[in-house]
Amino acid sequence: MPKFVYDFTEGNKDLKDLLGGKGANLAEMTNLGLPVPPGFTITAEACRHYLAHGTLPAGLADEVNTHLAALESAMGKRLGQSDDPLLVSVRSGAKFSMPGMMETVLNVGLNDESVHGLAAQAGDERFAWDSYRRLIQMFGKTVLDVDGDLFEDAIEDVKRARGTDSDGDLTADDFKELVGRFKAIVKEQAGRSFPTDPREQMDLAVEAVFNSWNAPRAILYRRQERIPVDLGTAVNICSMVFGNMGLDSGTGVAFTRDPASGQQGIYGDYLQNAQGEDVVAGIRNTVPLTELERIDKASYDRLLEIMETLENHYRDMCDIEFTIERGKLWMLQTRVGKRTAAAAFRIACQLFDQGLIDMDEAARRVTGDQLAQLMFPRFASKVDGVTKLTKGMNASPGAAVGKAVFTSPRAVELAERGEDVILVRRETNPDDLAGMVAAKGVLTSRGGKTSHAAVVARGMGKTCVCGAEELDVDVKDGYFTAPGGVTVREGDVISIDGSSGDVYLGEVPVEDSPVVRYFEGERSEGDGDDLVSAVHRVMEHADARARLHVRANCDTPEDAARARRFGAAGIGLCRTEHMFLGDRRQLVEQLILAEDDEGRKAALDALEPLQKQDFEGIFEAMDGLPVTIRLIDPPLHEFLPDITELSVKVALAGDAADAKDRKLLEAVTRLHEQNPMLGLRGVRLGLVIPGLFGMQVRAIAEAAAARRRAGGDPRPEIMIPLVGAVQELEAVRDEARGILAEVAEASGVDVPALIGTMIELPRAALTAGQIAEAAEFFSFGTNDLTQTTWGFSRDDVEAAFFSQYLELGIFGVSPFETLDREGVGRLIRIAVEEGRRARPDLHLGICGEHGGDPDSVHFCHEAGLDYVSCSPFRIPVARLEAGRAAI
Ligand code: ADP
Ligand code: MG
Ligand code: MG
């Protein structure tokens, strides 16, 4: 039978799965010789058994008995012993800390008799009755589900009667009265009396902790944070120490470094004559921890010493909870502390400088997501005339400013007039899509990080704050109200911070991130900003470790130049379709409308020099680095007028309709597709429209030759999209090779160009061995590959039902955000293996948006790809993760 109970002396910090974070760290501190009140931990495994079977596992009661007896004999008193009671706290503690779980019950073991014993031992009636009323209050609330406000109301009542508004003025008799009232409240609300048997109190509290694993808020939180549902929680039984024994006692929290900035120093709060919860509950005003030096120098010095011990031991920033009982310091909790992105980078480098960790570990301590956060534009910190309205959930990062609007059509209307708007809704649904696209940011008062607004905004890279529950949104009348009686109407300017969840009234100025300015080369690592210098150091190390190269998805010389500054090792995806827009649309129309080879050729001949120019600029910006150019991919009707608009125009004109419009309508009708994503596009276009791909290849070859003559070093790679069968690729490849040879001959300059394909259809992945015979490289187009593998049309499904899918737990994250390892990833692995078998020097990369997603970058590393390609702005994130993946 497994062991269900561990004494604090038996565990250690690596047993978090079993003992939870709190229990494992209490054990670790105990074994470090730090002053932890003795106690024991009931394992998460016992909880899992309880949740699965509805009963406590056999043997648990015996083990608890044994450990409790040991604790009692070590402390020299029994649980709830009437003349000198041992009191304990019953504390939940899962592997991951989780708001919404049952909180702690303190002072377990007090009843009508032992309260006198406690009073006598402490020589303090008031303290004993205060402790007793706290027990009934916490027990009532968390174990018996009594509405906590009823207790608070009773306290207010008594205070009013005493003519005071401070707990501090209440006397032993007041607390005695409260104990009576609290018992009555429990009796009435819970339909049972407050249990006076200490052991029953403890057992009920333990079960309540187990049950709280499935409290609705805990379930919601786990879903949002993607914490597995079946971990269960451990329970810690810890002997009580008292911070409420007078002014020489108190309780506090501390960080070993500033969790916001990462600076070293003393950070924390302290409250004299108080018990645990009071500090966080904000009932009374705490003092900065530095004040403790004045209040109790010995405890202060000891605390600093312990903080140093903990940092050196955990080799990381820790947060701690402590209590001082009549001048004696006790440690009640520690863990590696949560920190902001900026603090994470700073602390990692500080710890390296202190010799506590190496640079590999420093890189492990930061994440691509944190780096991404540091790169978003942000609000200037101190601004006058701006009110913070509320804080919601930070659903999609960034800083957005605009006029509040309450409907999607209004958002579109104002945006079309060039106004910046923030779409404010109670929650969004698929009908709001147009408004979300038009808005600078989205704010909702309901829904969490998997709500429709959050999912869609993240997919669009749009700033979003969701679930700002303090806001009352009235869409019908076009206003919302915020705490403090503020009303915001349509047209009022608001600012939302998607990285923190803050919502402001008025315009908060937005500023560039210093980290981006560093990547842009506008700041150097040596100019005094230790954040910039920390980022620089970690990036250098990541680059040195990375095996994967990082390329950019971009298609203008300007983007290419920026990508290079951000550290791109080339272009992994240069889309050519935008080169067919604007004025050139005319030429594409001519091409489509051409009735014979001659007409078609004329249109292509006109396009070719324009394309050549485009490529020359890009080759120049990426001189010496590979540039993968994808031949035209989207269906041609995307370059023609909208079918409905054109039909209306022609119909309205009747007989007077323009001949060209009629012809155009014919063409648009002919090219119209039910499902363009799966229609005439990619390589299919190249095969069906003679000369189209050929023109592009010629433009590439000539641009390369021109660059070479000018002394440049162009490295073109020609990429054929949407190939499903090797025969398609062969046909296009043979044509392309012919053209490359012709251009080489005519120009007298030989510019080698690789010819390869995208793998973005399941059939291509499954026949990769054949395709590799004809391809010199593969680039996994994981956007389409995800669509075609799942049968999802991205533009339709994300807005329609992804939030429900996430709620239902079908997947924990959209497969368009993070690569689906099991499905899409498996196809990639097959293609890698069979492709390389057929052609050992096959070059492999990925160019879907996954190329900039941290988890997907790790997958690409594991799958043995040579590079990832992502949007220029994500390059630093991908570089960092490529390095971390290799560590
Ligand atoms: P949380 O996870 O919410 O922090 P804790 O179990 O840490 O819950 O306990 C809540 C508060 O009660 C904390 O301030 C903690 O320091 C205090 N506390 C817990 N156990 C004891 C104890 N045995 N003696 C004194 N204070 C305690
Ligand atoms: Mg705690
Ligand atoms: Mg594609």
Domain with 99 in it: what CATH number? 3.30.1490.20
Is 100's pLDDT higher than 70? no
Are residues 756 and 793 located together in one domain of the fold? yes
Taking CA atoms only, the protein residue closest to ligand 1 atom 13 is 276
Is the pLDDT score of 282 beyond 70? no
Report yes or no on 364 lying in a domain.
no
Q: Does 332 sit in the ligand 1 pocket, CB within 6 Å?
A: yes
* DSSP per residue, 177-193: HHHHHHHHHHHHHHSSP
Which of the following is catalytic: 49, 67, 452, 850? Answer: 452
**Of the spans 93-107, 265-279, 748-762, which averages the highest pLDDT?**
748-762
Atom 27 in ligand 1: residue holding the nearest Cα: 276
Å from CA of 332 to ligand 1 middle: 7
Q: What span, in angstroms and rounded, lies between the C-alpha atoms of 41 and 580?
A: 67
Once rounded to an integer, what is the mean pLDDT over residues 464-476?
94
Distance CA(555)–CA(151), nearest Å, equals: 65
Q: At 450, phi and psi to the nearest 5?
A: -110, 10
The number of residues in the chain equals 887
Residue range 288-340, pLDDT digits in tens: 999 999 999 999 999 999 999 999 999 999 999 999 999 999 999 999 988 88
pTM of the model: 0.87
CA-97 nearest atom, ligand 1: 2
Q: What is the mean pLDDT of the chain?
A: 93
What ligand has the least distance to the C-alpha of 784? Answer: 3
Q: Is 847 labeled as catalytic in the residue annotation?
A: yes
Instruction: Name the percent of the chain in helix, strand, coil, to the closest 5.
Output: 50, 15, 30
Which one of 194, 221, 241 terminates a domain? 241
Write down the catalytic residue from 574, 847, 860, 870. 847
Which amino acid is residue 566, in one-letter code? F
Q: How many angstroms is it from 425 CA to the middle of ligand 3?
A: 34
Rounded CA gap, 422 and 756, in Å?
Answer: 44
Shared-domain flag, residues 779 and 871: yes
From ligand 2's centre to the CA of 321, what distance in Å? 6
**What is residue 501's predicted lDDT score, i.e. its pLDDT?**
93
The atom number, within ligand 1, closest to the CA of 275 reads 26
Number of the ligand 1 atom closest to the C-alpha atom of 242: 25
Residue nearest to atom 15 of ligand 1 (CA): 276
| pLDDT tens digits along 376-386 | 988 887 667 78
Q: Ligand 2 centroid to 18 CA: how many Å?
A: 18
Looking at all shown ligands, the one closest to residue 279's CA atom is 1
* Any domain includes 37: yes
CB of 333 within 6 A of ligand 1: the answer is yes
CATH of the domain at 848: 3.20.20.60
Q: Is residue 850 scored above 80 in pLDDT?
A: yes
Domain termination residue (choose one: 511, 535, 569): 511
**Within this chain, do residues 384 and 300 fall inside the same structural domain, yes or no?**
no
**Residue entry with tokens 């939180």:** 221
Total domains present in the chain: 5
Co-location of 235 and 289 in the same domain: no
**Domain match, 609 and 756 both:** yes
- 19 CA → ligand 2 middle, Å: 15
What is the per-residue pLDDT across 348-365, written as a single tens digit (0 to 9) for each? Answer: 999 999 999 999 999 999
- Does the C-beta of 124 come closer than 6 Å to ligand 1? no
Residue 92 CA, closest ligand 1 atom number: 6
Binding residues: 575, 630, 760, 781-784
Q: What is the pLDDT of residue 638?
A: 84
pLDDT at 99: 64
What is the domain extent for residue 645? 636-672
Angle at 73 between CA 137 and CA 114, to 5 degrees: 35
Instruction: Output the CA 323–ligand 1 centroid distance in Å.
Output: 9
Annotated binding site for substrate: 575, 630, 760, 781-784
ipTM of this complex: 0.95
Active site residue 452: yes
pLDDT at 883 over 70: yes
Q: Is the CB of 37 under 6 A from ligand 1?
A: yes
What pLDDT shows up at residue 101?
A: 67
Q: Is residue 529 part of a domain?
A: no
**Confidence class for position 845, pLDDT limits 50, 70, 90:** very high
pLDDT of residue 230: 87
Q: Using a 6 Å cutoff on CB, does residue 89 contact ligand 1?
A: yes
* 644 and 574 belong to one structural domain: no
pLDDT at 266: 84
